[in-house]
Structure 1
């Protein structure tokens, strides 16, 4: 439970920090673009002011076109990064009035408009990236003359400003992310407190304490978990109870047969006469046979317990074919008592069944019928189909069971008072458990042959 809580806390933090990290990365990417845009806007205003200032100082008179560049038009670019400034003033006639020669021309795709008479573009000049601004001013001379003023500045100041904006934004976002992570960690810790208290309750329990938790006293978020824990503990308790019942039943029922086996073995060892020794060995053999049968039935009963059945696989099968083949296996036992063993049923009878449990059920019914039917008697197995059910019947011509005892014979180790038979009282208990595992009902009645008729009614499925 401790590892579960730690793992859950770590996973919650991880799954919360991953989106925060992705969000931070996305914000940084957007901030970088935004910072470049902001830096361009800020410094483009300086370029714009510079080209307008220079353009205003371009004059024309009878002696020609003159330009007087004021110092302020270039000094406004001075910064700690010592960016280089390039400028030129040319006429549309191709004459350059002043400035640097061969400055890059703006792309043909960029044209000034009445709303934006100044155009901006980036270019490489003298091996450096330079941001240029271009402004054309008509001079209104006799000839239609236009002066083109172009000013460019290297990008050191812009890059520094953009980097500063990015760093400030990232620093603030990192602080916010750290603060968010802190509060998220506190929230997770507080949110896991109910789970931690549940962990402490589980750790304080002694070994074997499997009583359920009170689901009414836990937070609504933990009710599904507590419900699952309770279900698991109930299942474990049920399995432990079944195991303890089996151990108790086995120890109680095997104590006497094992003692008898030991006594008979002692008598056989002490016998000196071959006849006496032979008689002791015959009794020992018979007792061993009964003990083996008892042990097998105890194991069969354990397999038929509800907690064991829920782990078994139930598949569609034909009960007619299954019962016919199993009946044939008891032909030898019936022949030894000259019992007429028959089977009735040809129609397909589809049920959802487990072959192991069905084998135990039908085997016990046949074993009881043959065991209690006298020599030259009659035992009949029948499978019948009606619109809603599959009926398995085992009838015999034995002594039967009185009506007053028919409910009690399904109890474990119960034997009818006054009987001289050596059964251990588990056969019908096993049959009942197997029937219930198949959602079938079982009933006892008097057979037409005069003995007992056991009827097991299965729910029918489509073939």
Structure 2
């Protein structure tokens, strides 16, 4: 049962069984061919003996006689393996010489077409032995005697079977040797193929639990290379996943430490004071800190979710980008109105792109939130769609060209004014653009003078 569940057992099953069947078929056909060849050779000898006897037929005084000399009889007796019998029958059906009880010619025995003679070959039994009989018709037309005399020469089958058995033994030895060599070579080949896999297994068993380095290319066979490549790619994805988890944990611990410390301080201040006004101010500060902490946590989770999707299949659908931008503008209208900011949306025509509607909405929301947050009061923020390109520009301070790449990194705070925020809005936008295959560009707005963010979709 263990052998049948191994590769060696499968090989023996799928290779050994057909080979054994072919071996049996080959031996059987060899034996039949050998027996046919023996019959042809010995039938020719029987026909020669029958012709020798037929040549001794003579007519004397209008009587058919046969004179089989002792030389012919002696040649019959020289065969040490077989016994030979003969019988000569006149046209009238009388036995002229030989063994009168030999099996007669069957009615349905066909004439042999292998020899230029009127001869029949048939099998029979005589004296409890199988025999082969050659029945030769000999025409007689002398001194008033006319007709067809029948000469029967029979032989036991020992020599034929011995000849066929000899060829069968030769076939058995050669074919068995061929099957054995084939199975041995297949076993050696399988052992050679499995040797690199065993080395690879030993390497995997000796590996440390946290080691995720690629496997060495120990398998030389091109058919097994895709297995190593696929496993190494899986290890690469696993390394990326663990790296993202470690980065997320580090980011969370780093970014949440400050607001939690501030919250702890505010609670201590409130507990150490008996002034209700101080309690109220502390509670308002705690509410502000908690709001910032909740926003930071949401952004961290969104950033981790976007990074975790890299390498996965993208279930994109065709979405209306103009509707998503318009909805983001409506959501940011209250904040813009509070700062008396002129928030506008320009759309030439309906823009449809392949993407994730929720992620694209988050992209627009982050860009508009940053634009409204860093634009001074009574400023201007404009969202514009041109073809497959989204532009959001403002009249704020903008970002210098030397700091644009730094602004796309998580937790980068370039604004010295101390605006509230997590510092990962543009980093989240960058990851969403990469997820959609879009190109992100930061530059100075030529109309408003502030920052212009351009997202070009494929």
TM range (shorter): 0.7 to 0.9
For 2:127 and 2:281, locate their aligned partners in 1 and report how far apart those are by CA, in whole Å. 124
For 1:208 and 1:224, locate their aligned partners in 2 and report how far apart those are by CA, in whole Å. 24
Match among 416, 421, 424 for residue 423 of structure 1:
421
- Alpha-carbon deviation of 1:46? 5.1
CA 1:325–1:438 in structure 2 vs 1: closer, same or farther (change >3 Å)?
closer
CA 1:369–1:417 in structure 2 vs 1: closer, same or farther (change >3 Å)?
closer
The corresponding residue for 1:251 is 253
The corresponding residue for 1:412 is 410
The corresponding residue for 2:47 is 48
Unaligned runs of 5+ in 1: none
- Alpha-carbon deviation of 1:429? 0.8
Superposition RMSD in Å: 4.2
Per-residue CA deviations over 1:279-331 (Å, capped at 9, x if unaligned) read: 544443333332222222222222333x632203154624xx13413541552
CA 1:347–1:187 in structure 2 vs 1: closer, same or farther (change >3 Å)?
same
- Alpha-carbon deviation of 1:7? 5.0
* Bigger mean CA offset, 440-449 vs 50-59: 50-59
The corresponding residue for 2:140 is 139
Query: Contact 1:210–1:237 (CA<8 Å) still a contact in 2?
Result: yes
Unaligned runs of 5+ in 2: none
The corresponding residue for 1:435 is 433
CA 1:427–1:456 in structure 2 vs 1: closer, same or farther (change >3 Å)?
same
CA 1:161–1:428 in structure 2 vs 1: closer, same or farther (change >3 Å)?
same
Q: Indicate the SS of the match to 2:34.
A: helix
For 1:26 and 1:375, locate their aligned partners in 2 and report how far apart those are by CA, in whole Å. 98
Per-residue CA deviations over 1:353-383 (Å, capped at 9, x if unaligned) read: 3445434323322332344345665443322
- Alpha-carbon deviation of 1:452? 2.5
TM-score (norm 1): 0.77
The corresponding residue for 1:369 is 371
CA 1:39–1:412 in structure 2 vs 1: closer, same or farther (change >3 Å)?
same
Match among 170, 176, 181 for residue 174 of structure 1:
176
For 1:56 and 1:358, locate their aligned partners in 2 and report how far apart those are by CA, in whole Å. 113
Per-residue CA deviations over 1:159-193 (Å, capped at 9, x if unaligned) read: 67646643552344223422442344234334543
Query: Contact 2:396–2:449 (CA<8 Å) still a contact in 1?
Result: yes
CA 1:326–1:271 in structure 2 vs 1: closer, same or farther (change >3 Å)?
farther
Q: Indicate the SS of the match to 1:148.
A: strand
The corresponding residue for 1:34 is 33
For 2:232 and 2:366, locate their aligned partners in 1 and report how far apart those are by CA, in whole Å. 37
The corresponding residue for 1:295 is 297
TM alignment of 1:232-247, pairs within 5 A:
232-247=234-249
Query: Contact 1:397–1:449 (CA<8 Å) still a contact in 2?
Result: yes
Q: Indicate the SS of the match to 2:420.
A: coil
The corresponding residue for 1:149 is 151
CA 1:332–1:241 in structure 2 vs 1: closer, same or farther (change >3 Å)?
closer
Q: Indicate the SS of the match to 1:445.
A: strand
Query: Contact 1:365–1:428 (CA<8 Å) still a contact in 2?
Result: yes
- Alpha-carbon deviation of 1:262? 4.9
> Considering only CA atoms, is the larger Rg found in Structure 1 or Structure 2?
2
CA 1:122–1:299 in structure 2 vs 1: closer, same or farther (change >3 Å)?
farther
CA 1:91–1:223 in structure 2 vs 1: closer, same or farther (change >3 Å)?
same
Q: Indicate the SS of the match to 1:411.
A: coil
Q: Indicate the SS of the match to 1:210.
A: coil
Residue 64 of structure 2 is aligned to residue 61 of structure 1: no
CA 1:312–1:113 in structure 2 vs 1: closer, same or farther (change >3 Å)?
closer
For 1:271 and 1:73, locate their aligned partners in 2 and report how far apart those are by CA, in whole Å. 142
TM alignment of 1:317-328, pairs within 5 A:
317-318=318-319, 321-325=320-324, 327-328=326-327
